[in-house]
Structure 1
């Protein structure tokens, strides 16, 4: 009888351990959906996109690289640049976001951000921060900033001083290289640099609720740096736009079919990257 009991206990332990490992390491635990194209629109194929948002019928885009960094107002239907302000060397432009009548822009490694008038792009000042600057968005209360780590910063939009932080995880694993950000219907969307994935992040817990796979978008033969980057959301029209660095198209997309096997999601959700 003792042997039978021990055998049953051992079997239960094996099954429990197997279930735990399956739940812990299967990327299917966090759903991955393929981006389905609603519309493909023109986009400047020379733009090294680092920041993107939609407001009042217009796209605003921040571009990077030293010597070619800029902020732009773009007509989404045609890709026409209506207004532009260059960011001089040695600055490398990164994420941008609007707050009231101002537009904020961070830079990569210079620990300096720039403030412009939203309507005329006239310089209005600068602000400082520690570490690197990658992406920006806002939730109506705070400006949210990424810096390439798994930790998002929440900033006071009037002073740009840090208020709180949020550690982002997927299946318990820290999600590094969070890049361009967008606030979409109560969630934070984030490009994950050097992947084809956009993470949907719970702003209360930092947990990734799902991934959007954009691997079918953009030039299929492209340079190592020409990765997916740039998310904009038209909240009134419920339209989601995505693009990438030096991509000749801006895409309006929606979540399509579920992806059954994503190597990129598997690496992220098993702490393998």
Structure 2
């Protein structure tokens, strides 16, 4: 009789004396054919995000009345989408002065959110209004309006689809022609799902995302949702040579890092925060 069957026979004789849970434990221990393996979805089987270093190249002025929600560099021009009810707008920015050279305000009851540009059209989300506006990138003339079932937070594009965040851990791929959801990607790191995914920028095959209420920009694999790298900008004022003064930012607990634009010609990122006085040009090391 095989060893395992002899053990089973012995246990069956003891079934009137041993609790069921203990019998199960003995059976489990007696099975020498079990395989030791890690669950692929467990934190131990997930990549720990690499720390990404950066260098500040230059600083530019930024309008401290702009509650930055979206930032785009397109055709050598900076575009910005801002939030807050009654103050939300889409603007074309003179990067050297920080002032708007062209702007389009949202309705007074709307809270503007992220923006992106695809096929010379600007897509602008709203937060809780469930509306998405499409503008001509040159004239700012409104071309279309779509309904969106979730909150709008961040938006970017891979050149074909729109990619949208809603404040949770999911990122949605969306058809730009009808705004239908094509697929959903869950963002995770070595601790599990990562929420508060906010402003997005698609750079060289990866999604870069502000994690709201933190100083982090996350580098995300768009196929798996895995956070492969993390950029911490908590010292960006000091690295830029600017003396940080708490009075420089109206409310440091709310007016946090937000806004990522990529200049492919210079291989630079432009980053800022809500109502920050500066826009930073940085390079990833």
Q: TM-score range by the shorter chain?
A: 0.7 to 0.9
- Which residue in 1 is equivalent to 2:71? 52
The CA deviation at 1:245 is 0.2
**Aligned partner (choices 137, 159, 165) of residue 156 of structure 2:** 137
The CA deviation at 1:34 is 4.2
The CA deviation at 1:60 is 0.6
Q: C-alpha root-mean-square deviation of aligned residues, in Å?
A: 2.3
SS at match of 1:29: coil
SS at match of 1:215: coil
Taking the aligned partners of 1:30 and 1:254, their CA distance within structure 2 comes to 19
Contact 1:51 1:96 in 2 (8 A): yes
- Which residue in 2 is equivalent to 1:239? 268
- Which residue in 2 is equivalent to 1:7? none
Taking the aligned partners of 2:120 and 2:267, their CA distance within structure 1 comes to 23
The CA deviation at 1:78 is 2.6
Contact 2:82 2:113 in 1 (8 A): yes
TM-score normalized by the length of structure 1: 0.81
Contact 2:189 2:227 in 1 (8 A): yes
The CA deviation at 1:254 is 2.1
The CA deviation at 1:35 is 3.7
Matched, 1:103 2:122: yes
Contact 1:185 1:235 in 2 (8 A): no
Q: Could you say if the C-alpha distance between residues 29 and 245 of structure 1 is closer, same or farther in structure 2, counting changes exceeding 3 Å? A: same
**Aligned partner (choices 161, 176, 182) of residue 163 of structure 1:** 182
Contact 1:63 1:70 in 2 (8 A): yes
Deviations 1:189-226 (A, max 9, x none): 00000000000001111100110111113555241210
Aligned pair count reads 237
- Which residue in 1 is equivalent to 2:12? none
Contact 1:117 1:124 in 2 (8 A): yes
TM-score normalized by the length of structure 2: 0.78
Gapped regions of structure 1 (runs ≥ 5): 1-15, 257-273
Matched, 1:255 2:255: no
Taking the aligned partners of 1:141 and 1:220, their CA distance within structure 2 comes to 42
- Which residue in 2 is equivalent to 1:81? 100
Larger Rg computed on CA atoms: 2
* Higher normalized contact order (CA 8 Å, seq sep 6+, divided by chain length): 1
Taking the aligned partners of 2:183 and 2:43, their CA distance within structure 1 comes to 29
The CA deviation at 1:24 is 4.8
The CA deviation at 1:30 is 1.9
Contact 1:179 1:190 in 2 (8 A): yes
| Deviating 4+ runs (over 3 angstroms) | none
Contact 2:48 2:228 in 1 (8 A): no
The CA deviation at 1:240 is 0.9
- Which residue in 2 is equivalent to 1:6? none
Taking the aligned partners of 1:73 and 1:111, their CA distance within structure 2 comes to 24
The CA deviation at 1:28 is 9.8
